[in-house]
Amino acid sequence: MAFTAEKEALVVDSWNAIKTDAAELGLKFFLRIFEITPSASGLFPFLRDTSVPLEKNPKLKRHAMSVFAMTCEAAVQLRKLGRVILKETTIKHLGATHAKAGITGEHFELMRYALLETIREAVPYMWSPKMRNAWAESYDQLVEAIKKEMRPVA
Ligand code: HEM
């Protein structure tokens, strides 16, 4: 089914409404992930062996921002081009990084749940099943693009 301008607007408008609070949302997003699956924090090299508290870790916030912003960009591309196209070097790097870090389909599922819950809580006045589906579809297509480049690490 086509990714319509309506779907694009559902993602982009909600993102624009909350992006000024992205740092705080990013933290909530990751705390939710670690609350559901505490072992997931062990996947991030910069969280191991550090005395910096989670909420002060700039790399965690940066990762959350990447997920939010890239999902939003995916919505724009899906409407314009019908698929998610990232720069060749970017997608290869993302595939390799996540493969090396041992990220599995279950981790992507967990993040999907946390992402949708975080956006829902951030924009309760805008939230609807249609908005949920538009975010979910954008995220799923972005993840598919990353997964294609995740070859087993030798
Ligand atoms: C690294 C984006 C999903 C764990 C990264 C980087 C980006 C990124 C941009 C930094 C690459 C670099 O600069 O080297 C995304 C996007 C995702 C996603 C867009 C989904 C759409 C996940 C999931 C997990 C995860 C589900 C695990 C729960 C990691 C880890 C690193 C990483 C462990 C390496 C961090 C490091 O070595 O410093 N990701 N990510 N990512 N991501 Fe993700």
As a whole number of Å, the end-to-end CA separation of the chain is 37
Q: Residue 104 — pLDDT band, cuts 50, 70, 90?
A: very high
Residue 57 has a pLDDT of 85
Distance, in Å, from the CA atom of 139 to the CA atom of 120, rounded to the nearest integer, reads: 15
Structure tokens of 81?
């081009």
- What pTM did the predictor assign? 0.95
Ligand 1 binding pocket, CB closer than 6 Å: 40, 43-46, 59, 63, 66-67, 70, 94, 97-98, 101, 103, 107-108, 111, 142-143
133 has pLDDT over 90? yes
37-55 tens-digit pLDDT: 999 989 998 888 778 888 7
In whole angstroms, what separates CA 93 from the centre of its chain?
16
Residue 153 has a pLDDT of 55
Are 54 and 60 in contact by the 8 Å Cβ rule? The answer is yes
Residue 70 CA to ligand 1 center (angstroms) comes to 11
Tell me what percent of the chain is helix, strand and coil, each rounded to the nearest 5: 75, 0, 25
Residue 102 has a pLDDT of 93
